[in-house]
């Protein structure tokens, strides 16, 4: 029956896994040993009440342990412990130092004779209740801890795990000192992520092992919590907007322009209102070589001598006034802002004009075109033959006169640089002066009309009759009077004033 | 059952109830009735032992009998009839032994010839 109870007790203790139950069981075993010792000491005689109490309470405790009632069992064990201690105390010196062993059935002898007995003295030097002849360690008292107590030798480390029983919470089961001598339970890992369940905050979800908080056992699908799962997050551990693929918008130079828009991400924009949106500093906005910090006109190119401000160009020829020797007249830079000289005003600078004193055309490098009846000289279109008029009339006559006028008209067409031509009419001294003056005017007008008829703009033409006031030869001879009857074409360019009528030359 | 005819011939007035309970227990075969019957039997035995001077001459057995009787009642209170029955039987056994030992010791002290009994 006792074995059955012990078996049930062991099953109950193993099943419950309750530490206090195991302790109660261990204590009851110790008390059982003490009961045996008390019996040997003669407690049956000297402390029968205490012995009976201890034995009964131990049995009650074991019965309750078998039913899993560790609390009541503990109460009985404590009662038993008190009782057995008292029993041991009362039975000190009560046990006989001799053990009486009777061999065979009691011998019936006459009442007058004492029974034959064999007395064997048994010593117990260490007083541990194990006779020396059975005690493997007769000089060391057995520790009576329920573990191999019958050999008489103390076992300071029952399970041999290196942790003394005094410090061993599981004295009969090997275990490391780090776990107080108890065995370390095998770690389980349900999700197989390598993190033991006891350390795994998510034992049913495998850790994603992405290097981010892998020790907690929980998968982190979005490490940086920016709302973009790590699988598509280019910066999974740094929060960033979705528009930047989960990466933070950086501004390394701190100029307020994100690096992805900053052409110079390592140089801060100077924010001076000039191309500030590109993120690059513009230290010389106008690129005039004068740094903006020293440039009074940072956005207008100008020489350092003018504090970076531009110098004016009054004539708009591209040559600044301070370098323009003719600031009011446009001229090339090569000529220090002054126009090239053009003496004949034919539009071809003298330097390029092979005939600088005679208006000419560009195709003839400034030289006049050669005509049959006309020669262009400086200030004059000379006609090689005179234009003929009807006597006392302004009517132009003769074939040659028409040819002459045709060539004069051609000269004017070929030389647009000839802006203005003064047509002068002259007579000889025959007749009255007033009549001659009027006749010369009419003839000049007639020539002008003829040239207009040739296609010359009227504004280029001016007609003046001088009468007999400007003879070029003597009026006393017929040859002289013929020379005086003449028509002249004077080139009067723009800006040139019509010379005043010359004083009459003295007749030769 | 190890019931002796002597017990039925006891002088206390509990013979009839015990017999009735025992009969009912045997017929019914149920735990509560059985344990109650044995409890009553243990009480009778203990009383007999005490009358025989067990509280003086067989203190071990007498103490044990009372303890087991008490525990049997406790187990009955928890409806643990198996344990109650077991402890009641033990109580009866210890009580019988106590009575025997007490009677032997008393007669020896009185100069009788009956030998002392061995403790269990």
Each residue's pLDDT tens digit, A187-211: 788 888 888 888 888 988 888 888 8
For A184-306, list the strands marked E by DSSP: none
CB contact under 8 A, B67 and A49: no
**Does the pLDDT at position A57 exceed 90?**
yes
Rounded Cα–Cα distance for residues B38 and A191 (Å):
58
Q: How confident is the model at residue A251 (pLDDT cuts 50, 70, 90)?
A: confident
- pLDDT value, residue B114: 41
* B63 vs A49, A63, A67: nearest CB: A49
Question: Chain B residue closest to A2 (CA)?
Answer: B86
Tell me the mean pLDDT in the region A176-189. 80
Give the largest Cα separation in chain B, rounded: 49
- Percentage with pLDDT > 70 across chain A: 87
Bigger pLDDT: A254 vs B46: B46
Confidence of residue A180 (pLDDT cuts 50, 70, 90): confident
What's the whole-number mean pLDDT along residues A26-32? 89
Q: Distance from B113 to chain A by nearest Cα, in Å?
A: 12
Average pLDDT over residues A346-367: 84
pLDDT for the residue A139: 79
pLDDT of residue A176: 85
Residue B7 pLDDT class (50, 70, 90 cuts):
very low
Q: Residue A8's pLDDT is what? A: 56
Question: Residue A108's pLDDT band (boundaries 50, 70, 90)?
Answer: low
pLDDT at A447 over 70: yes
Mean pLDDT of A139-167: 83
Residues 6+ apart with CB under 8 A from A389: A395, A396, A397, A443, A446
Mutate one of A35, A38, A52 to test the B interface: name it (highest B CB count within 10 A): A52
Enumerate chain A positions whose Cβ falls within 8 A of a Cβ in B: 1, 44, 48-49, 51-53, 55-57, 60, 63, 67
Tell whether the torsion through CA atoms of A75, A80, A83 and A88 is positive or negative.
negative
Instruction: Specify the pLDDT at position A7.
Output: 55
Q: What integer pLDDT is reported at residue B11 of this predicted model?
A: 43
As given in the structure block, the two tokens for residue A130 are 């194990």
DSSP SS3 for A464: strand
Residue A144: CB partners within 8 Å, gap ≥ 6?
A: A30, A33, A34, A37, A128, A129
Report the C-alpha gap between A27 and A24 in whole angstroms.
5
| pLDDT score, position A192 | 86
Give me the pLDDT at residue B99, please.
94
pLDDT value at residue B2? 37
pLDDT above 50 for A505? no
What ipTM was reported for this prediction? 0.72
Q: Does residue A2 surpass a pLDDT of 80?
A: no
**Test mutation, A1, A49, A56, A62, chain B, max B CBs within 10 A:** A56
DSSP state of A469: S
Question: Alpha-carbon Rg of chain B, whole angstroms?
Answer: 15
More confident residue, A35 or A143: A35
Q: How large is the C-alpha radius of gyration of chain A?
A: 72
Mean pLDDT of chain A: 83
> Minimal Cα–Cα distance from A166 to chain B, Å?
34
Per-residue pLDDT averaged across A406-415, rounded?
91
pLDDT at A491 over 70: yes
Cα B120 to Cα A487, B64, B69, B97, B98: the distances in Å are 184, 12, 18, 9, 11
- Please report the pLDDT score of residue A4 as a whole number: 57
Q: What is the pLDDT of residue B118?
A: 39
Asked if A44 and B119 come within 8 Å (Cβ–Cβ), the reply is yes
d(C-alpha A90, C-alpha A52), whole Å = 14
Measured CA to CA, the distance from residue A291 to residue A297 in angstroms comes to 10
Question: Does residue B23 register a pLDDT over 70?
Answer: no
Mean pLDDT, residues A497-508: 41
Distance CA A260, CA A179 (A): 57
Query: What confidence category does residue A476 fall into, taking pLDDT thresholds of 50, 70 and 90?
Result: very high
Q: What is the pLDDT of residue A143?
A: 83
- The closest CB to that of B83, out of A44, A52, A63, belongs to A63
* pLDDT for A500 beyond 50: no
Which of B59, B85, B90 to probe by mutation at the A interface, max A CB count within 10 Å? Answer: B59
Tokens standing for B92?
């009866």
A1 contacts on B by Cβ (under 8 Å): 86
- Please tell me the distance from the alpha carbon of residue A203 to that of residue A211, in angstroms, as a whole number: 18
On chain A, the residues whose CB falls within 8 A of the CB of B87 are 60
CA distance B64 to chain A (A): 5
Q: What is the mean pLDDT of chain B?
A: 76
Within 10 Å of residue A492's Cβ, how many Cβ atoms? 17
Least confident of A111-115, A301-305, A374-378: A111-115
From the number of C-beta atoms within 10 Å of its C-beta (0-12, 13-18, 19+), residue A404 rates as buried
Instruction: Specify which residues A118 forms β-bridges with.
Output: A101
Burial of A500 (0-12, 13-18, 19+ CB in 10 A): exposed
Distance (Å, whole) CA B70 – CA B43: 10
The average pLDDT across A327-340 equals 88
Q: Is the dihedral of CA B101, B105, B110, B111 positive or negative?
A: positive
Judge whether A296 and A313 are in contact, CB under 8 Å.
no
- Rounded Cα distance, A29 and A58, in Å: 9
More reliable by pLDDT, A48 or A18: A48
Which of A76-80, A92-96, A107-111, A242-246 is least confident? A107-111
Shortest Cα distance from A135 to chain B (angstroms)? Answer: 26
Selecting from B67, B80, B86 the residue whose C-beta is nearest the C-beta of A52 gives B67
pLDDT at A420: 93
Q: How far is B52 from chain A (nearest CA, A)?
A: 17
Residue A427 has pLDDT above 90, yes or no: yes
Rounded average pLDDT over A215-226: 89
Distance from CA of B61 to the nearest CA of A (A): 7
B67–A44 CB contact, under 8 Å: no
Give the largest CA-CA distance in chain A: 229
Choice between A179 and A460, residue whose per-residue pLDDT is larger: A460
Q: Are strands A461-467 and A421-426 parallel, antiparallel or unpaired?
A: parallel
The DSSP secondary-structure symbol of A488 reads E
Taking the C-alpha atoms of residue A256 and residue A260, their distance in angstroms, rounded to an integer, is 12
Residue in this structure with the two tokens 């002066």, named with its chain if needed: A433
Of A449-453, B22-26, B114-118, the one with minimum mean pLDDT is B114-118
Whether A145 contacts A30, CB under 8 Å: yes
Chain A interface includes B61 (CB < 8 A): yes
Other residues' Cβ atoms within 10 Å of the Cβ of residue A372: 9
pLDDT at residue A103 in the model:
52
Q: Which residue does chain B place closest to A45, by CA atoms?
A: B60
Residues of A in contact with B55 (CB under 8 A): none
Q: Do the Cβ atoms of A44 and B63 come within 8 Å?
A: no
Q: Quick check: B22 pLDDT over 60?
A: no
Please answer yes or no on whether A56 and B83 come within 8 Å at the CB atom. no
**pTM of structure:** 0.32
End-to-end Cα separation, chain B, in angstroms: 20
Tell me what the mean pLDDT of segment A110-131 comes to.
65
Average pLDDT over residues A229-249: 85
Q: Model confidence at B18, in pLDDT bands (50, 70, 90)? A: low
DSSP-assigned letter for residue A264 = S
């Amino acid at each position: 029956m006792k074995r059955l109870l012990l078996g049930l007790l062991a099953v109950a203790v193993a099943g419950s896994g309750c530490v206090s139950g195991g302790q109660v069981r261990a204590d009851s075993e110790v008390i059982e040993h003490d009961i045996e010792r008390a019996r040997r000491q003669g407690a049956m005689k000297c402390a029968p009440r205490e012995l009976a109490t201890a034995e009964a309470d131990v049995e009650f405790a074991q019965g309750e342990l078998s039913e899993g009632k560790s609390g009541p069992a503990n109460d009985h064990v404590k009662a038993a412990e008190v009782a057995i201690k008292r029993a041991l105390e009362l039975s000190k010196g009560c046990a006989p130092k001799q053990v009486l062993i009777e061999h065979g059935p009691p011998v019936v002898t006459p009442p007058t004779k004492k029974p034959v007995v064999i007395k064997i003295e048994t010593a117990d030097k260490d007083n541990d209740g194990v006779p020396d002849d059975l005690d493997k360690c007769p000089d060391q008292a057995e520790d009576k801890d329920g573990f191999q107590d019958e050999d008489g030798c103390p076992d300071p480390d029952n399970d041999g795990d290196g942790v003394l029983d005094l410090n061993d919470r599981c004295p009969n089961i090997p275990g490391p000192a780090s776990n107080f001598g108890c065995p370390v339970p095998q770690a389980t890992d349900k999700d197989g992520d390598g993190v033991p369940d006891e350390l795994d905050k998510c034992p049913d979800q495998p850790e994603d092992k992405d290097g981010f908080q892998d020790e907690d056992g929980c998968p982190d699908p979005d490490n940086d919590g920016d709302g973009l799962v790590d699988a598509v997050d280019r910066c999974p551990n740094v929060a960033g907007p979705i528009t930047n693929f989960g990466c933070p918008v950086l501004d390394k130079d701190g100029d307020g322009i994100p690096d992805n828009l900053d052409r110079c991400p390592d140089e801060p924009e100077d924010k001076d209102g000039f191309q500030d949106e590109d993120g690059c500093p513009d230290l010389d906005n106008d690129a005039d070589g004068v740094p903006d910090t020293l440039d009074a006109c940072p956005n207008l190119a100008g020489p350092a001598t003018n504090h970076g401000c531009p110098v004016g160009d009054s004539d708009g020829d591209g040559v600044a006034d301070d370098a323009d020797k003719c600031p009011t007249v446009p001229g090339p830079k090569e000529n220090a802002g002054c126009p090239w000289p053009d003496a004949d005003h034919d539009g071809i600078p003298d330097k390029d004009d092979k005939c600088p004193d005679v208006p000419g055309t560009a195709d003839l490098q400034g030289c006049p075109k050669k005509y049959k009846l006309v020669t262009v000289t400086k200030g004059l279109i000379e006609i090689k033959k005179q234009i003929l008029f009807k006597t006392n009339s302004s009517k132009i006559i003769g074939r040659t006169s028409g040819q002459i006028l045709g060539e004069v008209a051609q000269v004017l067409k070929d030389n647009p640089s000839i802006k203005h031509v003064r047509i002068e009419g002259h007579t000889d001294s025959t007749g009255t002066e007033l009549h001659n003056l009027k006749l010369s005017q009419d003839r000049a007008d007639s020539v002008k009309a003829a040239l207009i008829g040739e296609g010359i703009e009227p504004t280029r033409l001016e007609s003046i009759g001088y009468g007999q006031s400007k003879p070029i030869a003597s009026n006393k001879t017929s040859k002289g009077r013929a020379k005086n009857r003449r028509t002249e074409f004077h080139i009067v360019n723009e800006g040139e004033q019509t010379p005043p009528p010359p004083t009459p030359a003295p007749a030769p | 059952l190890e019931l002796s005819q002597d017990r039925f011939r006891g002088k206390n007035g509990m013979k009839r109830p015990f017999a009735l309970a025992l009969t009912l227990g045997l017929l019914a075969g149920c735990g509560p009735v059985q344990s109650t019957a044995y409890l009553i039997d243990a009480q009778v035995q203990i009383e007999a032992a005490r009358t025989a001077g067990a509280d003086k001459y067989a203190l071990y057995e007498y103490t044990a009998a009372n303890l087991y009787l008490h525990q049997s009642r406790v187990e009955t209170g928890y409806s643990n009839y198996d344990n109650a029955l077991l402890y009641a039987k033990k109580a009866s056994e210890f009580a019988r032994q106590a009575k025997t030992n007490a009677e032997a010791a008393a007669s020896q002290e009185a100069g009788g010839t009956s030998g002392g009994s061995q403790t269990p």
